[in-house]
């Protein structure tokens, strides 16, 4: 039987230890389990909003929806830049062909947890 999750959040089983990865971009693996996004061209589904161990349920703020959320920067990012995930799932400036999950509201320093406006578009 198919399931669905209405709203702007979803819950998924973690396929890896994500206990130190809150505010990182995530995607689903081939088995439908949650893993870190590893490239801007990944099918990013959202940003992790929990510290979740392998096999436990993770809370994800989905890429679709309205409003703002938080992400962790993997590099300095300019104000108003479209953002995507780097190889570690951290937010970086999106380049042509990347799946952008947000837009910065202010300039961001590397390593900073910052607020972004949700978007779902190609850079």
In this prediction the pTM is 0.93
Q: Which of 19, 39, 62 is the last residue of a domain?
A: 62
Is position 49 within any domain? yes
pLDDT in tens, 112-123: 999 999 999 998
What range defines the domain where residue 81 resides? Answer: 68-122
Instruction: Say yes or no: 48 and 77 in one domain.
Output: no
Instruction: Say yes or no: 38 and 74 in one domain.
Output: no
pLDDT in tens, 4-37: 666 789 999 999 999 999 999 999 999 999 999 9
Total count of domains within the chain: 2
The answer to whether 14 and 53 are in contact (CB under 8 A) is yes
15 to each of 25, 39, 96, 120, how far by Cα in Å? 14, 17, 29, 24
pLDDT in tens, 53-110: 999 999 999 998 889 999 999 999 999 999 999 999 999 999 999 999 999 999 999 9
Instruction: Say yes or no: 76 and 34 in one domain.
Output: no
Averaged over 35-53, what is the pLDDT?
97
């Amino acid at each position: 039987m198919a399931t669905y999750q209405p709203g702007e959040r979803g819950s998924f089983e973690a396929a890896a230890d994500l206990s130190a990865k809150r505010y990182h971009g995530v995607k689903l693996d081939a088995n439908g389990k949650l893993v870190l996004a590893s490239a801007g061209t990944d099918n990013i589904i959202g940003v992790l909003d929990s510290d979740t161990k392998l096999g436990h349920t993770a809370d994800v703020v989905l890429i679709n929806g309205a409003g703002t959320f938080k992400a962790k920067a993997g590099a300095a990012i300019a104000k108003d830049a479209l953002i995507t995930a780097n190889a570690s799932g951290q937010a970086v400036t999106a380049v042509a062909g990347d799946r952008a999950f947000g837009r910065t509201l202010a300039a961001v320093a590397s390593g900073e947890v910052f607020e972004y406006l949700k978007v779902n578009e190609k850079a």
